[in-house]
Amino acid sequence: MTVRRLAALGVVSSLFVACASSGPDGAVSTSPVSSEVSTSPVSSEVSTSLDAEAKDVVTRSSDAEGDGVRPQGLSTVTARITSVDGEICEVCMWLADSPAERATGLMGVTDLGGPVGMAFSWSEPTDGRFFMLNTPTPLSIAWFADSGEHVGQTDMTPCLTDDSETCDRYGADAAYTLAIEMFEGQLGKVGITPGARVELLAGTESPTCSIAG
pLDDT at residue 22, as a whole number: 33
* CATH fold label, 3-10+23-48+71-200: Jelly Rolls (2.60.120)
Domain map of the chain by residue range?
3-10+23-48+71-200
Mean pLDDT within 191-205? 97
Q: How many residues does the chain have?
A: 213
State how beta strands 75-82 and 88-96 pair. antiparallel
Between 212 and 50, the more confident residue is 212
pLDDT tops 50 at residue 57: no
What is the rounded CA–CA span in Å between residue 110 and residue 96? 17
pLDDT tops 50 at residue 42: no
